Structure 1
Amino acid sequence: MLRRLLEMRRAPQCDIHGSSARTVNRALVWMVLASISLVIWHVWVYGPSGHAAPYQGEARSFPLLLGAEVWDLLTNKHGILAELREVFPYFIVGVLLAGYLRTYKIAVKLQAMLRKYGVLSVFLASFVGIITPLCACGTLTTAVSLLFAGLPLAPVMALMVTSPLLSPSTYLLTLNDLGPEWTVIRTLSAFSMGIFAGLVTHFLWKRGLLGENLFIEGAVVRGDFHDEDYPDERLRCNCRQKFGNRVAVRTGNTFLVFLAKSAEMVWTVGKYILVGVAIGAIVERYMPAQWIYRFFGKDDPLNIVWVTLGSVPVFLHQISASSILYHIKSSLDGTLDGGVGLAFMIGGPVTAMPTMVLFWSVFKKRVFFLYLFVCLTGTLLIAYGFRAALFVPGVDTGNDLLRGVRSLSGGVSAVIKKQSSTVRIVMDPTRQNAIATCTNDLEGQGGVVFDGCRERFLERSAGLYDNRAYVGNIARWLEENNSSAVGRQILVYTLHDDLPYLGKGVLDRLAREGYSVSVLTRRTAPQLSEPMLDRTGQLWVFCGGAGPESRLTAAELERVSQFVAGGKGLLVVAGQSPGGTDDLSGANSLATRFGVEFAGVADQGSELPVSVASNLFNRSAELLGRLLKLVHKA
């Protein structure tokens, strides 16, 4: 029997249950072609990536240059294939979860309940939408069938708006790409969009502003969409011929049905992952950084409007959105504007152009403009609302270094200048980069944290704000990125003796978390020797002073480089020298080896706000973070 099941020919997919229409696939092809064109243009004008000089045709033929560039884009240690390997566990779990929902028809059963609860059905429909593995086109055909079955427009509108925004697979992929905080935010925003759309529609419907007939006369033929002879191929459903349903007919084995329905989702979900990862990698590598910063990094409230409107003609699938946004975050020389990022993830998927074309041809224009209104207005309201309520300007929301931190000590800080794509800015208050990280897992290197302000590490500041929690997060993050055999051994090394660091409270906290901390200064240990580093898993270097004794020697710098290359963690803390001078050469001799330069200083005030989120939000993000670790280990 199993052999017969495996030999079944794959039938056309069903529009009703979420497959992509031919127009969607064409849109994906055009997006890929546009991305390839960007690569070709870049190689033709500038040569291989990283070359500032124009392409010199006589040095090497253009086809060879282009082929080498594409190969490097695919196979380098931060390329497309490397990211696909990172995404793969979440993709598999998402596919299996979608297969489970489809096997037991959970979403279908919930849809059947929508007639029972009046206006409250809007809330239920919004929930159904975020667990339904449908794209915008599949949702539209489902909505037509629900309206024919007598369901009110309000819950149907809520379903049409939420389904393109989130699904089980998208949920897990967002968890991988952007972290638990962004996953909570995306879930709340999708649910809020559905409620907004449903309530607005209910209000207009009650006042008779939408009329009785929702469809263009003759645009939709009434009948059974599951009938193979249904005349409108845009809405005709071939689900009876789908592999999963044919398996269900031939066997009563629920497990085989589950496997078949999960297998159907592999390509349905996988193609958007492939496109999203590819486009994201190309955007990060070739799109001019100033263009990306102008809309996603610059502190301009109108950027939310421009990104929302600009996303209307772009076909951006929910699964691709988080991957592309991840690459946008990585390419910025500062932090992402959270409101703009949220507008990008909402506005693009919910206003997909193929859906809008089909909507225009089926529904009366007042319904079309209602859908467009709730999509655009809802995106703007939620993006601005969440920007004010949850996002703090100049903070990388969801960054592990800031978990559970509401504010930090400020003061005079050395300004961090990003010089490598492996560096990510964690905080840039007043658009002056203050904290950054560097990771290069694919080369087996340990993590590096850069902090331009020594004030939050001083003993006198240990009890202020959430400095202790921040220091604990640094130790935890470096430990998680430590691939060496030496664990939870921290060496604190001070290149000057003027100021006491950390303090008893911080050291006690680290000890309670299982860390063994040794504190040495240039006076007590004039050299960072190999034996010292061999028994250390994390090296925390506090730079300062203006003399030669306040700098690591060439031999010490090489030892630290090998230390990080061996998978161990490093913290580099700079800042204004005790005498008030701005000599950062000592810190830069170390930091530049890992893609960062400290360039000048800036006064960032006495307190830096980090988070305004509630305890419930933080707790939800923490639970999702644990799920993230479980999936990653699996």
Structure 2
Amino acid sequence: MGFRDIIFSKRKNDCELHGGHARKANRTLLIMIAACLCLIVWHVWGHGLSNPSGDGSSSTAPLLMLVGYEIWDLLFNAHGVISELRDVVPYFLVGIILAGYLRTYKIAVKLQTSLRKYGAMSVVVASLVGIITPLCACGTITTAVSLLFAGLPLAPVMSLMVTSALLSPSTYLITLNDLGPEWTVIRTISALAMGFFAGGVTHFLCKRGFDKGGLFIEGAVVPGDFHDEDYPIEHLRCNCREKFGNRVAIRTNSKFLIFLAKTAEMSWVVGKYILVGVFIGAIVERYMPSDWMFQFFGRQDPLNIVWITLASVPMFLHQLSASSILSHIKSSLHGTLDGGAALAFMIGGPVTAIPTMVLFWTIFKKRVFVLYMFVCLGGTIIIASAFQWLVFVPGVDTGNQLFRNVSSLAGGHSSVIRKEGTNVRIALDPVGKNVIATYANDLAGQGSIVFDAGFNRFTAAATGIENDQRYVANAATWIEQNSSSPVGNKILIYSVANDNSTVGFTDGVAEVLRKSRFAVTLMDRAKTAQLTDRMLADVGQLWLFFPESGGKVQLNASELELVSRFNERGNGMLISTDNGQTVLRNDASVNLLSSRYGVLFAGSSENVPRISVGITSQLFSSASELLGRFLKIVHKA
């Protein structure tokens, strides 16, 4: 048989253990996509296009054409599905290459089959093996059954099944892209914790006779090799030798060819969940009411962990799709993400996937099924709650680069940021009122922007408070890294004041930035009456400080246009105001500028003198920093 026959030869029907779950999963994915399409049709029919054309032609077009326009915009607009997939591609490729390597050399299989020799430590080892297994829980069940027949205790097998559902090399990298290094570390540690919890509870029960009387439904499965053509249960008889990667492996000894085949095979296994995750995430962000999303993912309510965990049971949420959907949920919120609810979403959904539950129900006795559900749901609630209390800081965007190595920031009185645009992410809302936000729109070629609703953090940095100094340096670094200016390390600080009200702290801020290798120029309204092209010609960042002014115009129309053009060329900005004591009108200069990017400063907020912003454990910070370096390498590649 030639290579053409290997590729195009017709395969037998997949077995129930290895292939049945894949068919169910594919059907479920198709149902989810169909539901999303129905939601699009309903939205267009009831509310019209999300981004209607300016000529009004969309109001008279037929419904079918409008739906086509809406889907096209969803896929191809500047922040659509296609643009997001372009960002995911590097991580996807690295993930499937790593998975192909693991499958070619059967590293995970060898580790699984050697679990017996680890004795009491087998639960720990099984949990570690599970997070490098390039399979979901369904794909691991066949291995679990074989391990149980081989005499391995139920406890490490339970750990293996739980962790396999939560993490794999591809999932690790996709999470790194979607949510950043901090969330990747959190997801990894929580997956291991789930494995330890599942194995520990199972070990405790088995010591008290839980596994006596057998684990499998009588006649559902019998000892033997599923790959044997004479295996007695026909619908469980495996023909996975017919899969492309295994067909190549049978006919060649070349590890390189086998590696290519296994990698190609994984591209569909992994890719379909990434596609669905990105698509559903875009649907959620565009069509789901933001207030409804905030109730479950933005409001700091401990019960949200319970509701999200229970709601995830009937939901088919694959580990590869979870981080993408969560990233879109995060973007849709008008505040910060509730870390505990988000973690419950990423744990509870994958471990209780419907195909896994169906397969588990048909093979194992009901008490084993109940145990699996208990460790999945109970473990999700316990671990998410533990992270909520010990790791996540309420009102802080976990993993935001502005707060790297920062444990607290100056609080006090400030204005409030109101999010109006989709490219804005809230970084800090300590009492439910937003005080720091970021804007990024690299697809449009614009530079990134940091918005800060008060001067207190800059004043504290100028007086030598180390945490606030790190925040200032982080802001400049983030703007430089997320903007395309070739001179991003050159900053112009411009105080929009006709007196010396901000000179004191801007001098101190400039000194902090210079120590962080930035070249800084200081100017203010009192000495330089108007911003000009010449002033902005050789700088990559513009930091504007608007002192308290009420509704007084501080920048004229030509200056606002000048600043906008500066940003459109890929240059970054920081915009801060100290209008917390006055009513800031929409036509104030700071709002005329910030509203172009989806931000308004309004109202006032009274915060504690020092606002806690840092992740409590140094382990997370160190591991996240290492992952952040890897993230930069992948982006450059």
How high is the TM-score relative to the length of structure 2?
0.95
Instruction: Tell me, yes or no, if the aligned pair for 1:451 and 1:574 is still in contact at 8 Å.
Output: yes
Alpha-carbon deviations, 1:484-531, whole Å to 9, x = none? 232311000001221335466643442243210011110111111011
The residue that corresponds to 1:520 in the other structure is 523
Per the alignment, in what secondary structure is the counterpart of residue 93 of structure 1?
A: helix
Alignment of 1:358-397 (within 5 A): 358-397=359-398
The residue that corresponds to 2:547 in the other structure is 544
CA distance in 1, matches of 2:151, 2:283: 46
> What is the one-letter code of the residue matched to 1:489?
K
Alignment of 1:19-168 (within 5 A): 20-49=21-50, 59-168=60-169
Alpha-carbon deviations, 1:52-78, whole Å to 9, x = none? xxx999722101111100011010010
Cα 1:631–1:445, aligned 2, differ >3 Å: closer, same or farther?
Answer: same
The Cα of 1:15 is off from its aligned counterpart by 7.1
CA distance in 1, matches of 2:355, 2:61: 42
The residue that corresponds to 1:558 in the other structure is 561
The Cα of 1:219 is off from its aligned counterpart by 1.4
Matched, 1:466 2:467: yes
CA distance in 2, matches of 1:335, 1:362: 43
Cα 1:69–1:266, aligned 2, differ >3 Å: closer, same or farther?
Answer: same
Is there any run of 5+ residues in structure 1 with no aligned partner, and where? none
Cα 1:14–1:322, aligned 2, differ >3 Å: closer, same or farther?
Answer: farther
The Cα of 1:241 is off from its aligned counterpart by 1.7
Which stretch shifts more, 266-275 or 131-140?
131-140
Instruction: Tell me, yes or no, if the aligned pair for 2:493 and 2:521 is still in contact at 8 Å.
Output: yes
The residue that corresponds to 2:606 in the other structure is 603
The residue that corresponds to 1:449 in the other structure is 450
Instruction: Tell me, yes or no, if the aligned pair for 1:107 and 1:128 is still in contact at 8 Å.
Output: yes
Per the alignment, in what secondary structure is the counterpart of residue 34 of structure 1?
A: helix
% identical aligned pairs: 59
Instruction: Tell me, yes or no, if the aligned pair for 1:405 and 1:466 is still in contact at 8 Å.
Output: yes
Instruction: Tell me, yes or no, if the aligned pair for 2:542 and 2:574 is still in contact at 8 Å.
Output: yes
The residue that corresponds to 1:613 in the other structure is 616
Alpha-carbon deviations, 1:311-353, whole Å to 9, x = none? 0001100000000000000000000000000000000000011
Alpha-carbon deviations, 1:193-234, whole Å to 9, x = none? 001000110110011133230011111133321124545566
Matched, 1:355 2:356: yes
The Cα of 1:8 is off from its aligned counterpart by 4.9
Instruction: Tell me, yes or no, if the aligned pair for 1:18 and 1:134 is still in contact at 8 Å.
Output: no
Instruction: Tell me, yes or no, if the aligned pair for 1:129 and 1:159 is still in contact at 8 Å.
Output: yes
The Cα of 1:240 is off from its aligned counterpart by 1.5
Alpha-carbon deviations, 1:14-63, whole Å to 9, x = none? 77678952111111111111111111111111011157xxx999722101
CA distance in 1, matches of 2:389, 2:49: 42
The Cα of 1:581 is off from its aligned counterpart by 3.0
Instruction: Tell me, yes or no, if the aligned pair for 2:348 and 2:377 is still in contact at 8 Å.
Output: yes
The residue that corresponds to 1:271 in the other structure is 272
The Cα of 1:546 is off from its aligned counterpart by 2.0
CA distance in 1, matches of 2:235, 2:80: 38
Which stretch shifts more, 144-153 or 265-274?
144-153
The residue that corresponds to 1:628 in the other structure is 631
Per the alignment, in what secondary structure is the counterpart of residue 371 of structure 2?
A: helix
The residue that corresponds to 1:510 in the other structure is 513
Cα 1:129–1:512, aligned 2, differ >3 Å: closer, same or farther?
Answer: same
CA distance in 1, matches of 2:169, 2:20: 15
Per the alignment, in what secondary structure is the counterpart of residue 431 of structure 1?
A: coil
Alignment of 1:174-253 (within 5 A): 174-228=175-229, 230=231, 232=233, 235-253=236-254
> What is the one-letter code of the residue matched to 2:593?
L
Alpha-carbon deviations, 1:244-301, whole Å to 9, x = none? 2222222222111111111110000000000000000001000111111110001211
CA distance in 1, matches of 2:330, 2:622: 24
Cα 1:9–1:517, aligned 2, differ >3 Å: closer, same or farther?
Answer: farther
Instruction: Tell me, yes or no, if the aligned pair for 2:591 and 2:601 is still in contact at 8 Å.
Output: yes
Which stretch shifts more, 474-483 or 269-278?
474-483
CA distance in 1, matches of 2:87, 2:2: 32
CA distance in 2, matches of 1:370, 1:43: 45
Cα 1:518–1:311, aligned 2, differ >3 Å: closer, same or farther?
Answer: same
Which stretch shifts more, 431-440 or 208-217?
208-217
Instruction: Tell me, yes or no, if the aligned pair for 2:460 and 2:468 is still in contact at 8 Å.
Output: no
Per the alignment, in what secondary structure is the counterpart of residue 164 of structure 1?
A: helix
Instruction: Tell me, yes or no, if the aligned pair for 1:492 and 1:520 is still in contact at 8 Å.
Output: yes
CA distance in 2, matches of 1:382, 1:171: 19
Cα 1:318–1:29, aligned 2, differ >3 Å: closer, same or farther?
Answer: same
CA distance in 1, matches of 2:300, 2:113: 46
CA distance in 1, matches of 2:227, 2:202: 28
The residue that corresponds to 1:281 in the other structure is 282
Instruction: Tell me, yes or no, if the aligned pair for 1:119 and 1:202 is still in contact at 8 Å.
Output: no
Task: Give the number of equivalent residue pairs.
Answer: 630
CA distance in 2, matches of 1:404, 1:233: 59
Instruction: Tell me, yes or no, if the aligned pair for 2:501 and 2:547 is still in contact at 8 Å.
Output: no
CA distance in 2, matches of 1:228, 1:453: 72
Per the alignment, in what secondary structure is the counterpart of residue 503 of structure 2?
A: coil
Is there any run of 5+ residues in structure 2 with no aligned partner, and where? none
The Cα of 1:170 is off from its aligned counterpart by 0.2
CA distance in 1, matches of 2:115, 2:284: 42
CA distance in 1, matches of 2:16, 2:487: 54
CA distance in 2, matches of 1:187, 1:460: 34
Cα 1:98–1:2, aligned 2, differ >3 Å: closer, same or farther?
Answer: farther
CA distance in 2, matches of 1:520, 1:234: 78
The Cα of 1:242 is off from its aligned counterpart by 2.0
> What is the one-letter code of the residue matched to 1:587?
V
The residue that corresponds to 1:408 in the other structure is 409
The residue that corresponds to 1:574 in the other structure is 577
